[in-house]
Structure 1
Amino acid sequence: MKFPLFVLCLALGLSACGAASAQLPAGAPPAAPPALPSATSPDYLAAMNRWRSSLSAFASADKEKLPATDGVLFVGSSTIRMWTHLAQDFRQSPVVINRGFGGSTMADCSLFTHELVVRYRPRHVLVYAGDNDLAEGRTPLQVLESFAQFANTVRETLPEARISYISIKPSPSREALMPKIRSTNDIIAAYVRTMANAEYIDIFTPMLGADGRPRAELFLGDRLHMNETGYRLWQSVISAHVTAPETLAASPAPRPVQSGPGTPSGLLSAAP
Structure 2
Amino acid sequence: MTRLILIIFLCANISSYAQESSTFDDKHFIEYLTNSLKNNDVNIENKNAFLKESSNYWNDRKLDYNLHPENYEKAMSLFHENQEKFKEIVSAANNKMNNRIEDAIKNFQNLDDRNTFSKNSILFVGSSSIAGWKTSISFPEFYIINRGIGGMNMTEIIQHYEILIKKHSPSVIVIYCDIDIEQGKSPEIAVNAFKELTRKIKGDLPKTSILLLSMKPAMIDDFIGRNIRKNKMITNELLLKFSEKENNIQFVDLASPMLNVDGKLKTDIFINDGMHLNKLGYEIWNPIIRNILLELTK
Task: Establish whether TM, by shorter chain, passes 0.5.
Answer: yes
| TM-score normalised over the length of structure 1 | 0.69
Following TM superposition, by how much is the alpha carbon of 1:111 offset from its aligned partner in structure 2, in angstroms?
Answer: 2.2
Q: Which residue of 1 aligns with 2:285?
A: 234
Distance in 2 of aligned mates of 1:60 and 1:161: 25
Q: Which residue of 2 aligns with 1:155?
A: 202
Letter in 2 for 1:213: K
Question: RMSD over aligned Cα, in angstroms?
Answer: 1.9
Distance in 2 of aligned mates of 1:150 and 1:160: 15
Deviations 1:75-110 (A, max 9, x none): 000111111x211211221x1000001111122222
Deviations 1:38-72 (A, max 9, x none): xxxxxxxxx97562201111011112213222210
Asked whether the equivalents of residues 190 and 235 of structure 2 are also in contact (C-alpha less than 8 Å), the reply is yes
Q: CA distance change for structure 1 residues 142 and 222 in 2, over 3 Å: closer, same or farther?
A: same
Distance in 1 of aligned mates of 2:180 and 2:156: 9
Q: CA distance change for structure 1 residues 149 and 48 in 2, over 3 Å: closer, same or farther?
A: farther
Letter in 2 for 1:163: I
- The reply on whether 1:203 has 2:254 as its aligned counterpart is yes
**Count of equivalent residues:** 199
Higher share in helix: 2
Following TM superposition, by how much is the alpha carbon of 1:163 offset from its aligned partner in structure 2, in angstroms?
Answer: 0.4
Asked whether the equivalents of residues 109 and 163 of structure 2 are also in contact (C-alpha less than 8 Å), the reply is no
Asked whether the equivalents of residues 184 and 228 of structure 2 are also in contact (C-alpha less than 8 Å), the reply is no
Q: CA distance change for structure 1 residues 204 and 246 in 2, over 3 Å: closer, same or farther?
A: closer
Deviations 1:121-153 (A, max 9, x none): 001001000x21111110000111100111011
| More RCO (CA 8 Å, sep 6+) | 1
Q: Which residue of 1 aligns with 2:187?
A: 140
Distance in 2 of aligned mates of 1:48 and 1:144: 22
Asked whether the equivalents of residues 125 and 163 of structure 1 are also in contact (C-alpha less than 8 Å), the reply is yes
Q: CA distance change for structure 1 residues 52 and 164 in 2, over 3 Å: closer, same or farther?
A: same
Letter in 1 for 2:188: L
1:54-203 map, 5 Å: 54-83=104-133, 85-93=134-142, 95-129=143-177, 131-175=178-222, 176-203=227-254
Letter in 2 for 1:196: N
SS at match of 1:127: strand
Asked whether the equivalents of residues 130 and 148 of structure 2 are also in contact (C-alpha less than 8 Å), the reply is yes
SS at match of 1:51: helix
Following TM superposition, by how much is the alpha carbon of 1:243 offset from its aligned partner in structure 2, in angstroms?
Answer: 2.4
SS at match of 2:260: coil
> Unpaired segments of 5 or more residues in structure 1?
1-46, 248-272
> Unpaired segments of 5 or more residues in structure 2?
1-96
Distance in 2 of aligned mates of 1:213 and 1:114: 40
Distance in 1 of aligned mates of 2:239 and 2:271: 27
Asked whether the equivalents of residues 114 and 153 of structure 1 are also in contact (C-alpha less than 8 Å), the reply is no
Following TM superposition, by how much is the alpha carbon of 1:211 offset from its aligned partner in structure 2, in angstroms?
Answer: 2.6
Following TM superposition, by how much is the alpha carbon of 1:245 offset from its aligned partner in structure 2, in angstroms?
Answer: 7.7
Following TM superposition, by how much is the alpha carbon of 1:246 offset from its aligned partner in structure 2, in angstroms?
Answer: 6.2
